[in-house]
């Protein structure tokens, strides 16, 4: 296995979808090639699932320095997580923008007179 093959099959390797023999090839290549070995270590350091699960803490700056560095290293090698992070940020912005613009376009009307009277009447009953 060469470096290109290694990179091409790394996702399938971590998805556990590679035939056993090819998976062994990945392990052997990582053991002998320094660059691919480092990539393998980084990929093992934090899974995509873990990154996505704790993404809100990463964005809110609630992780420790070392954890932040681990997240950054994962993002540097994982286009899927980078795309996820970008789309998650866009989702946050769109949600707030859409909901707030809805409030502006639908101004509050005065409370219906019947409801004002019903609340007052209920409070009178409550007092009795």
Q: Which residues bind other proteins (CB under 8 A)?
A: 11, 14-17, 47-50, 52, 55-57, 79-84, 86-88, 90-103, 106, 108-112, 115-116, 118-120, 122-124, 126-127
Write out the two tokens for 98.
């859409």
The distance of closest approach from Cβ of residue 67 to other proteins in the complex, given in angstroms and rounded to an integer, is 15
| CB of 54 vs other proteins, minimal distance in Å | 9
CB of 32 to other proteins, least distance (A): 22
Nearer to other proteins, 64 or 102 (CB): 102
State phi, psi for 26 to the nearest 5 degrees: -60, -50
Q: How many CA atoms lie within 13 A of 66 on its CB side?
A: 1
84: left (phi over 0), alpha (psi -120 to 50) or beta: alpha
| Block residue for tokens 């995509």 | 48
Rounded Cα distance, 70 and 65, in Å: 9
Q: How far is the CB of 20 from other proteins (least distance, A)?
A: 13
Residue (32 or 44) nearer to other proteins, CB: 44
């Amino acid at each position: 296995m060469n470096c290109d093959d290694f990179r091409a099959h790394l996702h399938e390797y971590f998805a556990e979808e590679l035939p056993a023999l090819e998976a062994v090839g990945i392990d052997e290549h990582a053991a002998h090639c320094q660059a691919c070995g480092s990539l393998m270590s980084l990929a093992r350091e934090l899974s995509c699932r873990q990154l996505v699960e704790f993404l809100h803490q990463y964005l809110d700056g609630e992780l420790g320095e070392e954890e932040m560095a681990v997240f950054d290293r994962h993002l540097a090698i994982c286009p899927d997580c980078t795309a996820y992070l970008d789309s998650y940020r866009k989702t946050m912005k769109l949600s707030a923008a859409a909901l707030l613009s809805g409030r502006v376009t639908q101004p509050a009307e005065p409370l219906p007179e019947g409801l004002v009277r019903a609340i007052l009447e209920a409070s009178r009953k409550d007092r009795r």
